[in-house]
Amino acid sequence: MAKITVDQALLASHDPASMNPLFINRVMDVVEQPKMNTLFASLQRMPKFALALAVIATLLAVSGTTYAAYQLWFKPNATVQQFGQNQEGRNEALVTFKNCQNQASTRYEVKSNASLTAPQVEQLLRARCEMDAINKWALSASPTTTEAPPMAYPGAFTVTKIDGTKVSLHNPTYDTTVTVTEKSIAIINGVPVAASSIKVGDLVTYVEHYTYNPGGGHPTSRTLLAIVTLQLPAEFYDTTMQNMVATRKACYGNPTESCIESGLIDVYPRNGENNMATVEPGDNFEVQGRIVKHDGNTVSLRASSGAVYTFTAPHDVIAKFNTENSAGYENTKIGVGDMLMILYTKKQGEDPKAIQPNQLRSVSLLIELISKQDPLKKY
């Protein structure tokens, strides 16, 4: 018999109580929703009156506990475990999730020009999870012939009028009318019901399926798949509000450093510079840090851990940006104290903190970005 490794023995010897419950719950939440897609597919094929009868029959037949089996998704939850200032002097939340499939991280930073409390961050992330759940369902419910996967409109609407099959929807930036067909359903609290269950005053989003000409361009037709009631106040679904929180993760290749998901301005390469052929192949690395020294082609950055990373570019990329490109960015100049993100390659065993010109893939300036209309502001 082959000998067992230490890793294999350790992985086999865990105490049954010591687990990663968050991960297990996420898998089992999906596994224990019996034949969700099949149910939906059959609901979709039913005429509206039959669907209404099926829903009534279902409601009559099932008890409160087994009713959950007909959930298309479960109510997501996000809980802020810690909230306080990080090394950048910004508020940061450490968050755990339940019934949320796509959370990108457990650390979320509140942007400097936003003021959100911990409960607001929770609501905002719950709204994000809810939209993710709707979009995931939309993908599974999409007709197989679709060219573009259906998605929920990113924002909340109030139902203002229902006139036969026409449902009028209002949002502060966009008013629209959707047409209910025999393929359309409503989803209330994650449960599929007849589209006629929607009423004036409901807070909703909608999912449409678009078809296009083979050559692309604008959609040639749109079909309403579902009107979905939303669970939280409208402002938390707003894209501007959603942009007030950014994900903070370990930097790729440099797990001791943290990197923020932020708006970026290209510093190098740009203006036709092509370094694809000159960059050495190797493992990819990412790091973000504030400039502590700029000496011609060589720039030093202090990253989140306090470590200093020094890169040497083929030319003085900062001076070049400041003279040739600054005008296109409201005369933004780059200097000591500004936050850069660099991507680079390294071979195994090489010092990841000293980057040579033939290892430098790109240099970008981090900016604050909540709304495209905002004046440009460095991170």
Partner 1 sequence: MSAMNESKVIQRILAGQPNAYVDLVKRYHVGLIIHCEQLVKDRDEAEDIAQEAFIRAYKNLKKFKPEQSRFSTWLYKIATNLALDYLRKQKRHVRTEDIELLAEATQPAFLEEEQKNAVRAAVAKLEPPEYKEVIEAYYWHGQSYTQIAQIMNKPVSTIGTYIRRAKAQLKGELLWLK
Question: In whole angstroms, how close is the CB of 11 to partner 1 at the nearest point?
Answer: 4
Question: In whole angstroms, how close is the CB of 15 to partner 1 at the nearest point?
Answer: 6
Kindly tell me which of 177 and 256 has the beta carbon lying closer to partner 1.
256
Question: In whole angstroms, how close is the CB of 306 to partner 1 at the nearest point?
Answer: 10
In sequence order, the β-bridge partners of residue 377 are 368
Question: In whole angstroms, how close is the CB of 20 to partner 1 at the nearest point?
Answer: 3
Question: In whole angstroms, how close is the CB of 16 to partner 1 at the nearest point?
Answer: 7
Kindly tell me which of 19 and 62 has the beta carbon lying closer to partner 1.
19
57 vs 52: CA distance, rounded Å? 9
The closest alpha carbon to 246, from 367, 79, 69, belongs to 367
The residue type found at 322 is: N
Kindly tell me which of 11 and 60 has the beta carbon lying closer to partner 1.
11
Question: In whole angstroms, how close is the CB of 152 to partner 1 at the nearest point?
Answer: 20
Question: In whole angstroms, how close is the CB of 260 to partner 1 at the nearest point?
Answer: 14
Kindly tell me which of 30 and 151 has the beta carbon lying closer to partner 1.
30
How far is CA 53 from each of CA 35, 61, 366, rounded to the nearest angstrom?
20, 12, 56
Which residue matches tokens 């030093």?
300
Kindly tell me which of 7 and 351 has the beta carbon lying closer to partner 1.
7
Question: In whole angstroms, how close is the CB of 31 to partner 1 at the nearest point?
Answer: 5
77 vs 228: CA distance, rounded Å? 18
Question: In whole angstroms, how close is the CB of 144 to partner 1 at the nearest point?
Answer: 17
Spatial CB neighbours of 214, under 8 Å, sequence gap ≥ 6: none
**SS3 readout for 316-347:** CHHHHHHHHHHHHHCCCCCCCCCEEEEEEEEC
Displacement of CA 262 from its chain's centroid (Å): 12
Question: In whole angstroms, how close is the CB of 5 to partner 1 at the nearest point?
Answer: 5
Q: What residues line the site for partner 1 (CB under 8 A)?
A: 3-16, 18-20, 23-24, 26-28, 30-32, 34, 101-102, 104-105, 249-250, 252-253, 255-256, 281, 283-284, 305
Q: Which two tokens stand for residue 371?
A: 């709304």
Kindly tell me which of 10 and 277 has the beta carbon lying closer to partner 1.
10
128 vs 100: CA distance, rounded Å? 9
How many beta carbons lie within 10 A of that of residue 182, not counting itself? 15
Kindly tell me which of 30 and 292 has the beta carbon lying closer to partner 1.
30
Kindly tell me which of 4 and 61 has the beta carbon lying closer to partner 1.
4
Cβ atoms 263, 113 nearer than 8 A: no
> What is the DSSP secondary structure assignment for residue 57, as one 8-state letter?
H
Q: What are phi and psi of 158, to 5 degrees?
A: -100, 135
40 vs 66: CA distance, rounded Å? 17
Kindly tell me which of 10 and 61 has the beta carbon lying closer to partner 1.
10
Kindly tell me which of 29 and 182 has the beta carbon lying closer to partner 1.
29
The closest alpha carbon to 172, from 157, 161, 160, belongs to 157
226 vs 195: CA distance, rounded Å? 8
Cβ atoms 208, 224 nearer than 8 A: yes
Cβ atoms 170, 117 nearer than 8 A: no
- Say how many CA atoms lie within 13 Å of 140 toward its Cβ: 15
